[in-house]
């Protein structure tokens, strides 16, 4: 049995991102939101989502650090956009315990946005420690470790078009190149030259 399995194909992700884009476009028909992406994982999702929206939207990013086992979070690099009075949509790759997002939302609230909503591609609902409202949600998954489409292993694999689950973490840790071999075996998921 393989230690890895593809859980969401590139086509399934693209179709769902299209649906989320249509919902956001309808909800924000008369408002120009700022999409605020959480680096680095939100990059592919934000890029694809933003291309489904009107040219009036703005894009910015920030990055966070996590320290301590209790998951305390701080800002590593802040966004440059002033969000006071703006309609902000925080864009995340995955929400797991919810600690990261709940910290970030608390911080952004102090900056007085006109409205604050969240969009995440993946929701690991069963792992939640802190309740956070996820207005736009791509897929609900179990608690397997995922890679691809923004999600990394030591900085790698964020650029895969599809999403993979690691079924045998020990085997994967011993040979992290196995996913690269698997992906490049498939023509459908080959990276552009
Ligand atoms: P939370 O604060 O919600 O527990 O954590 C969210 C962060 O945990 C994500 O931004 C991501 O960096 C990391 N994370 C959670 N689950 C996974 C996963 O399945 N795969 C990867 N690569 N990272 C994950």
Tens of pLDDT along 62-85?
999 988 766 678 899 999 999 999
Across the chain, which has 193 residues, the per-10-residue mean pLDDT values are 90 98 96 97 98 96 85 89 97 95 95 98 95 96 96 96 96 94 70 51
CATH class of the domain defined by 10-142: alpha beta
* Mean predicted lDDT score pLDDT of the chain: 93
Q: Where are the alpha helices (DSSP H) in the chain?
A: 10-27, 43-50, 99-109, 169-174, 178-185
Beta strands at 136-140 and 87-95: parallel, antiparallel or unpaired: unpaired
Mutate to test the pocket of ligand 1, among 66, 96, 148, 173 (most ligand atoms within 8 A of CB): 96
The two tokens of residue 165 are 């689950």
Cα distance between residue 191 and residue 20, in whole Å = 25
Backbone φ, ψ for residue 139 (5° rounding): -140, 140
What's this model's pTM, rounded to 2 decimal places? 0.93
For residues 40 and 65, what is the distance between their CA atoms, to the nearest angstrom? 11
168 as an active site residue: the answer is no
pLDDT of residue 193: 47
């Amino acid at each position: 049995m393989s230690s890895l399995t593809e859980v969401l194909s590139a086509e399934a992700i693209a179709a769902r991102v299209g649906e989320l884009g249509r919902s956001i476009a309808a909800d924000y028909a008369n408002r120009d939101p700022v999409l605020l992406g959480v680096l680095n994982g939100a990059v592919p999702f934000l890029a694809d989502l933003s291309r489904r929206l009107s040219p009036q939207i703005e894009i910015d990013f920030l990055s966070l650090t996590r320290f301590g086992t209790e998951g305390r979070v701080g800002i590593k690099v802040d966004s440059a956009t002033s969000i006071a009075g703006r309609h902000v949509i925080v864009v995340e790759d995955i929400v797991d315990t919810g600690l990261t997002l709940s910290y970030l939302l608390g911080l952004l609230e102090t900056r007085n946005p006109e409205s604050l909503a969240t969009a995440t591609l993946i929701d690991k609902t069963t792992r939640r420690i802190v309740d956070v409202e996820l207005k736009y949600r791509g897929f609900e998954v179990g608690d397997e470790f995922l890679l691809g489409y923004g999600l990394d292993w030591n900085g790698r694999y964020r650029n895969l078009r599809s999403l993979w689950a690691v079924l045998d973490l020990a085997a994967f840790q011993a040979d992290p190149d196995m996913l690269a071999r698997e992906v490049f075996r498939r023509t459908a998921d080959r990276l552009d030259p």
